[in-house]
Chain A
Amino acid sequence: MSRTFREDLERRLQDVEFAREFGAAAAKTDLALTLARARRICQVTQADLANLLGTSQSYIAKLEQGDANPTIGRIGELLAVIGLRLSTNTIPLISSAYSETETNRAENSGFHVSIPSLAPKAIYDLEIAVHSKKETSDTKTKLVEASSR
């Protein structure tokens, strides 16, 4: 019988050790997307960002590949040099939402999930956002525009 990605993943997540590794990888991946997006919005190249931080362009590339494991402080430093700070939130480890339409998901404003042995059923806010530190800066305007899209 054919296996599916979702069934496989849900089965594997019953293993707490796997879930821990998966959670670590998911956090790095999410951060990579957040950083890449923030950098693009601020129109800063990887090389420029590396110069501002006194690090290498390859380190920034590694962050945006989701392969690096920076400290929270390092993330704060990185965002600060482009006028941003990190705002975090939690969402379910995996959603069971594929069968839901985009419209339904918007109406429900959250995913309904079950994570056996890890957490009770819950509905969480979905949004992980990066907020501007400079209230009046162009950066904030761009981020607000981006988040409303």
Chain B
Amino acid sequence: MYKIDYYTRPNGDQPVVDWLDRLDRKSWAVIEAKILYLEERGLELLGTKMLKQVRGERDLYELKGGQCRVIAYYDRRKEDNRFVLLNGFLKKRRRETEQINEARYLLHEYLNK
């Protein structure tokens, strides 16, 4: 079993929560199911196409559910197998790099809190 955290920024914002709240019911249900399996199975999801490592980032993963994407950081510093969900977005080719860069920024912020 893994632990799932929504990342909370120093100002109290939770980027994944803000994004989830804007999703329609079906998209929300699909990505929530994937997050639940990430909690239960963790890195076993790498054996499917549901989870992939972000290129060039050892512990940054992209979780896929339909058109939804969530960037998660696997925090090896903790002893509880913790994934920190940094941000989420809908797959659009042009915006993907931008969103992953945003996740990198949030990761930097998280690691230096």
Contact = CB atoms under 8 A, between A and B. Distances in A.
B47 interface: yes
Interface in B8-66: 8, 12, 14, 17, 20, 25-26, 28-30, 32-37, 39-41, 44-45, 47-50, 64-66
A145 interface: no
A130 interface: no
A29 B4 CA distance: 18
Given A26-B37, A29-B37, A65-B49, 11 more contacts: A2-B12, A5-B5, A9-B32, A12-B28, A21-B25, A21-B29, A22-B32, A30-B37, A32-B50, A33-B45, A64-B48
Interface of A: 2-6, 8-9, 12, 15, 17-18, 21-22, 24-26, 28-30, 32-33, 36-37, 40, 61, 64-67, 94-95, 97-98, 100, 102, 105
Interface of B: 1, 3-6, 8, 12, 14, 17, 20, 25-26, 28-30, 32-37, 39-41, 44-45, 47-50, 64-66, 85
Given A18-B28, A22-B29, A66 B6 contact: no
Contact of A33 (B12, B26, B37): B37
The secondary-structure label for the interface of chain B is helix
A2 B8 CA distance: 7
Contacts of B26: 21
Contact of A25 (B14, B17, B34): B34
Nearest to B4: A5
Contacts, number: 87
A20 B29 CA distance: 9
B6 A4 contact: yes
A37 B25 contact: no
B6 A12 contact: no
Contact of A17 (B25, B40, B48, B85): B25
Contacts of A100: 1
B1 A98 contact: yes
A29 B34 contact: yes
15 contacts: A2-B12, A5-B5, A5-B6, A5-B39, A6-B4, A12-B32, A25-B30, A28-B33, A29-B33, A32-B48, A33-B37, A33-B41, A33-B44, A37-B47, A65-B48
